[in-house]
Amino acid sequence: MSTNFLRAAQSTFRQSIYRPSHIASLRQFHTTSPNMTVHNYQTADAFKQAIKDNKVVLLDCFATWCGPCKAIAPILANHSNDEQFKDIHFAKIDVDDLPELSQELGITAMPTFLLFKDGNIEPAEKLVGANPNALVTILKKHA
């Protein structure tokens, strides 16, 4: 009987060391939806309307098969939720779904980021490639 008592005491001691109860109360899980989001446009008209409706629009031209596009997508989503970029409208188009718009915008590689200002269809900034630091520089410049 004393062996069982010691095993129980050891088990309780291990749990208190490895899983302290006060740490469980510190864990914070956020269930609220993000403040902003990256809007995925399916038509050229919808995208052009977004340029007219928003002062600053950052467009991510991507392809579903593009590895660098997949790598930078979560970074872009994080920036869209960042308070310092709240005035920027984040948009995406799949170049395979909208080839005419891609050609009109001069997309030659993926990912390509275009920044539009004041309803102008001509991009104010262009970034080709998945370069997170250069992307932040452009966002901070126009935020």
If DSSP codes are grouped into helix, strand and coil, which group holds residue 38? strand
Contact call for residues 81 and 35 (beta carbons, < 8 A): yes
Is 90 a residue whose pLDDT tops 70? yes
Q: Which of 57, 59, 61, 66 is catalytic?
A: 66
Contact call for residues 120 and 86 (beta carbons, < 8 A): no
More confident: 134 or 37: 134
Q: Which of 57, 58, 63, 69 is catalytic?
A: 69
Write 69-72 long-range contacts (CB < 8 A, 24+).
Answer: 69/110, 69/111, 69/130, 71/130, 72/111, 72/130, 72/132, 72/135
Is 31 a residue whose pLDDT tops 60? no
Judge whether 66 counts as a catalytic residue.
Answer: yes
The pLDDT value given to residue 47: 96
Task: Map tokens 């749990």 to a residue.
Answer: 15
Judge whether 61 counts as a catalytic residue.
Answer: no
Q: CATH assignment of 38-142?
A: 3.40.30.10
